[in-house]
Amino acid sequence: MTISRRGFVAGAALAAGGLGLLGFEGTPAQAAARPVTVKYGPSELDIYVPGRSAGRPVLVYVHGGGWIVGNRGDVYSIPDFAARLGLILVSVDYRKLPSTSVPWQAKDVAAAINWVRSNIARYGGDPAKMIVLGYSAGAHLAALTVLDGRAGPVAGLICHDVGTYDIAALNRFYDGSMPLLFRNAFPKAKQWDRLSPANAIGKAAIPPVLVTWSDVKHHPAMSAVFIEKLRSAGASVETYDGSRQYSHRDIIRAIAPGAGGVSKAIEGFIAAHV
C-alpha cells in the first residue's frame, strides 16, 4: 500500500475511530506527562504515560544521530503526538560511537525493546500492542533488531527516513566511496551483510512495516530496495514518499498532534495495527 502525500483518507478514518474504539483516545490539546526514567541494561529509557488506564498501546521510539550523537530526550513533538492518541511512549537511549560499535548498539536497542515487553504492563501498557518507531540511525537499528528477531515480536515497525537498509548496495550507489559518516559506522565490509536490515528479512516473523523517506540523497532508492525485499518475503508494507515535501530534519519534526502529511500516515498505521 502506498500512502500519498496529498492525503491519507483511510488512515485518517482509522486514526479518528480506531484508537477511540479501543478507549485510549486523547484530546487534541492533550500534552505529554513528564517522563519516568528507567535503567535498562547498559543505558536508560524514558516512559511517558498519558493516563491511568491499563492495556494502552505502546510506541517505542529509537532516536537518530548518525550512530554518534543524540539521546532519548531528542523526541521533538512525539510525546504530545503519542499522548493525543492515548499511547504510552518509551524513548530509548543506546551507547554511541566511538565508545562502542554498531553491533553493540543493535544489542542495546534489542535489550531496550525486550525490557519494554517484559515491564511495560506495570506502567499500564500492553506489550502485545507495541509499535517500534526508529528515525535515521535509530531506524536502522530498530529495523535490524526487529527483523532478525532479537527484539522479539512487535505489532508494527516504522522505519522513518534512513538509507542503510543494505549497506553494500548503498556503497555501490556512492560508487564505492560512502561518506565518512557511513565509513565510520560500518568500517568493516565483512560485517555489512549482517548489519543490513534487508539481509535480516526472513530470520523472524515480519510485522507490518511502514517505510518513510525524505529528500536525502539515495534514501528513495534505498527505501525501494528494502520495500521490494520485504514484499518479496510476503510482508505487509506501507510507504510514504516525503521526498518532495521534507528534508531529513523536517520529516522528524513533522510528527506532531493533529498534523497532516507523514504524521497522519504514521497515525493511521498505528491505529490500524494496535
Percent of the chain with pLDDT strictly greater than 90: 87
CA 123, distance to chain mean position in Å, is 21
**In angstroms, rounded to a whole number, what is the distance separating the alpha carbons of residues 24 and 85?**
7
Q: Could you give phi then psi for residue 203, rounded to 5 degrees?
A: -80, -20
3-state secondary structure 55-100: CEEEEEEECCCCCCCCCCCCCCCHHHHHHHCCCEEEEECCCCCCCC
Q: What pLDDT was estimated at residue 4? A: 38
The answer to which of 7-21, 144-158, 195-209 has the lowest mean pLDDT is 7-21
HSE at residue 72, side-chain half, CA atoms within 13 A, is 23
The pTM for the full model equals 0.90
pLDDT, averaged across the chain: 91
Q: For the residues 51-74, what does the mean pLDDT come to?
A: 96
pLDDT above 70: residue 27: no
Ordered by where they begin, the domains of the chain are 2-273 (3.40.50.1820)
pLDDT digits (tens, 9 = 90+) for 110-161: 999 999 999 999 999 999 999 999 999 999 999 999 999 999 999 999 999 9
pLDDT at 23 over 90: no
What local confidence, expressed as pLDDT, does residue 32 receive?
75
60 to 71, 127, 263, 266, 268: CA distances (angstroms): 14, 11, 16, 13, 16
